[in-house]
Amino acid sequence: MNLKTKMNNVLFLDIETVPQKENWSEVPEIMQELFSKKTAYQRKEEVTAEDFYKRAGIWAEFGKIICISVAYFTNNEQERNLRVTSFSGDNEEQILLDFKKLLDTHFNKSYHVLCAHNGKELLTYICILLIIFKLFIT
């Protein structure tokens, strides 16, 4: 991070994800095949795609976001405050809409910075879903 960046211009974020379906039996057959192929290199031979499905949330195409939590600093005249907000629930599109609204209204300038652990993958995950839902950041 650029040490000249003002802390008020940084949005810290993290997400929580789960598999799109609660049970493997609910996953459409074509998605089961795709998941099996995608995860073959990670699974040991004795581990089936069904057994591995509990980890599906780490891939945007097989998972869904259930929570986006953000934190950012605000200043008043005498002190700096940390504000923490979470967008959560079972409606992934609404979570993304709420997050997008925050970006569009408060973190939409070129000097704003997003900060996340494993940020490249996390932000890619969010961007893939924003595209899928046709939610473009303005």
- pLDDT tens for residues 71-96? 999 988 889 999 999 999 999 999 99
pLDDT, position 111: 94
Instruction: Provide the token pair at 81.
Output: 């405050």
High-pLDDT (> 90) share of the chain, %: 86
pLDDT, position 3: 67
Contact 73, 10 (CB under 8 A): yes
Residue-range definition of the domain harbouring residue 123: 7-132
Split at pLDDT 50, 70, 90, the class of 2 is low
Q: What is the mean pLDDT of residues 49-54?
A: 97
pTM of the model: 0.89
Is pLDDT larger for residue 78 or for residue 56? 56
CB atoms within 10 A of CB 61: 14
For residue 137, tell me if it sits in a domain: no
- How many independent structural domains does the chain possess? 1
Render pLDDT for 12-47 as a digit per residue (tens, 0 to 9): 999 999 999 999 999 999 999 999 999 999 998 899
For residue 14, tell me if it sits in a domain: yes
For residue 123, tell me if it sits in a domain: yes
pLDDT, position 37: 96
Beta carbons within 8 Å of 27's beta carbon, 6+ residues apart: 20, 21, 35, 53
